[in-house]
A and B are shown apart, each in its own frame.
Chain A
Amino acid sequence: MLRGIYSAASGMMANQLRSEALTNNLANLNSTGYKSDNAVFRSFPDFMIHELHKSDSNSQIGAPSMAFNNTLGNLANGVYTQEMIPDFHQGDLTDTGNPLDFAINDQNLPMVTDGNGKQTKPSLFFAIQKNNQTSYTRNGNFTLDAQNQLVTADGSFVLDDQGNKIVLKSDQFKIDEQGNFSDEQGNPIMVAGRPLRIQLVQVDNPYDLVKGENNAFLWQGQGQPQPVTSGGYQIKQGMIERSNVNAEQTMVDLMETQRSFEANQKVLSAYNETLDKLFDLAKV
């Protein structure tokens, strides 16, 4: 059959998914702590194609050949969007002056070696909890709810280093670069005899995180991410980490996607015309 007609259709579908990822990035150009997604295409599994109608001395002319050695080569039957890979690069830090805005700067975090001996760059996240489900976020736009708990915009509780909710006495507080809370006078805020400290978790392989709501990620890897132990990071109060979406790149990619979509449609149309010709012949 005409295999190319399916390849062209799959190309259109893959580009459509890519446009969804690109427009989502674009829509989150101003979302705090957003990490941009890259759509990765992959060709359909290869298969071998063989020449079918080859006349040889043993068979009738035009009859299918049983000899499967007349290989034509490999052919993949199209393309699909295999995964969305987030880009975990640090976004720009911007000053907001709001004491309830926190940003993480983890650019100087030491590299870690994974199981395969490969060096990877870990990422730090705030641990937040909603309906007993813990997720991880870089979106530091926090607020205080009616019970004086530190929460995110969607009402998830921000956790301290003991895994508890953070309850503050007033909105006048400070947090140092290591994440320790202190009150207006600079005295450490104590909870049950321990200084109150925000929880930062270190995720060695951030690609095991999947996107949830409000720029938060859910963990899908082995075990649980553990609180950070090394130094090399700062928490900045009164600052936010901006989305790391590159608007120019996204617009260019979108244009490219549009043209690729169009090109695939042209292939489809060409096949359509070919089939038309066939029907015209058959009409006689």
Chain B
Amino acid sequence: MNISMNNVVNAMRASQYRMDVVGNNIANTNTKGFKSQSLEFGSVLADANDILPDDPQAKRLTPKSLYIGNGSIANLQRTDFELGTPEETNLPTDLYIEGNAYFQVTNGQDTRYTRMGALSLADNGKGQMVLAMPNGDRVLDRAGNEIVIPPGYSMEVGSKGEVKLVDKSNKNHVLQTQQIALYQIPNRETLESAGNGEFTVPANALSQPVMINDPAKQDADVPIKQGYLEQSNVNLQKEMTTLMENQRFFQFNSRALTTLDQMEGVINSITGK
């Protein structure tokens, strides 16, 4: 009876994990640049049990022993890297990456990768205004430096990430100094979430980030669009379907648990009158 109860309890636990993931996806329906996640289930290793009595005459279809499974577990969480649709914001510090690539950002210690394009200008501590993430992590250029926007200048970003600094008092005075770096990570399954839509690449991973958008090339490999933001790629219909299905799954298993409990009651009342 314990195996049966373990089976349904495992399944209910797995179902709750999936509920957590779905809940997180739904909560982030309006989070810019959010990538939805999914959780997959697999069965737990089946035990081989002896069959009693051992009747050699009995015809069998399957190999000897009874293979009884031990329920299911949630064993694979993956991110859906599908591109979110662009939303026009007209803010010069909003950048949309039109394809599979990441900005490189730093908090001063770690190098991280993100697609969160809702940037702003922040003080880097040295009296300069630099392009930064909402949490203060600085966006880096191709040489690995912060992108400095001097006072009195506005920023224009080209499709390859070239930053043009336009003098606000004299529109014809344009400085072009830096280019925002874009990286492609060949195997995005190795990305580790660092919070705030940022990811780290493990040092031992075979797939390390590759810088793209070489300025010598005519066209950008992955263009950047200024004034747009990437919307969340959560598909609400899909999430709601998973939610309902998951709720029923939980109910089926809790119903089975009630049945098993009644069966245990039956055992207890064998000697009772």
- The answer to whether B62 and A143 have CB atoms under 8 Å apart is no
**Residue pair A254, B267 in contact (C-beta under 8 Å):** no
B80 with A148: CB separation less than 8 A: no
What distance in Å separates the Cβ of B56 from its nearest Cβ neighbour in chain A? 10
B187-A26 in contact (CB<8A): no
Task: Tell me the complex Cα distance, A215–B38, Å.
Answer: 18
New A-B contacts (20) at CB < 8 Å, excluding given A22-B4, A22-B256: A17-B66, A23-B7, A26-B253, A27-B69, A31-B41, A31-B42, A44-B55, A45-B55, A83-B62, A86-B62, A143-B189, A144-B190, A170-B186, A208-B62, A213-B45, A213-B46, A214-B75, A247-B248, A261-B266, A268-B270
Chain B residues within 8 Å of chain A by Cβ, number: 72
Min CB–CB distance B207 → chain A (angstroms):
6
CB-based nearest A residue for B66: A84
Report chain A residues within 8 Å CB of B58.
42, 82
The answer to the question of A194 belonging to the interface, with a C-beta cut-off of 8 Å to chain B, is no
Choose from B67, B72, B188, B255 the contact partner of A84 (Cβ within 8 Å): B67
Residues 190-233 of chain A, each 1 if its beta carbon lies under 8 Å from chain B, else 0: 00000000000000000110111111000011000000000000
The listed residue with most A CB atoms (<10 A of its CB), out of B11, B45, B67, B205, is B67
27 CB < 8 A contacts A-B = A16-B4, A19-B260, A24-B70, A27-B71, A28-B69, A30-B14, A31-B42, A31-B43, A32-B41, A32-B42, A34-B43, A34-B72, A81-B66, A82-B51, A83-B60, A83-B62, A85-B62, A96-B38, A143-B76, A144-B190, A146-B205, A148-B207, A210-B67, A221-B63, A254-B256, A265-B270, A272-B270
Within 8 Å of chain B (Cβ to Cβ): is A56? no
Does B8 count as interface, using CB distance less than 8 angstroms? yes
A126 on the B face (CB < 8 A): no
Interface residues of A (CB under 8 A from B): 12, 16-17, 19-24, 26-32, 34, 37, 42, 44-45, 80-86, 96-98, 100, 139, 141, 143-148, 153-154, 168-172, 207-208, 210-215, 220-221, 247, 250-251, 254-255, 258, 261-262, 265, 268-269, 272
Whether B51 and A171, one on each chain, are in contact in the complex, defined by CB atoms closer than 8 angstroms, is: no
Known: A27-B8, A143-B76. A255 touches B252 (CB 8 A): no
A148 touches B187 (CB 8 A): yes
Set of chain B residues within 8 Å of A255, measured between Cβ atoms: 259
Cα separation A80 to B271 with both chains bound (whole Å): 23
Task: Identify whether the interface residues of A are mostly helix, strand, loop, or mixed.
Answer: mixed
Q: Known contacts A26-B253, A154-B42, A207-B61; decide if A80 and B53 are in contact (CB<8 Å).
A: yes
Rounded to whole angstroms, the CA-CA distance of A212 and B44 in the bound complex is 8
| Contact status B45-A144, CB under 8 Å | no
Smallest CB gap from A263: residue in B: B266
Bound CA–CA A39/B195 (angstroms): 47
Contact present for B204 and A146 (CB under 8 Å): yes
Interface string of B8-49 (1 = CB under 8 A from A): 101100110010000000000000000000101111111010
Chain B positions within 8 Å of A31 at CB level: 41-43, 72
Contact A213 B44 (CB under 8 A): yes
Q: A23-B71, A27-B253, A80-B53 are in contact. Are A153 and B42 (CB under 8 A)?
A: yes
Q: Are B1 and A16 in contact (CB under 8 A)?
A: yes
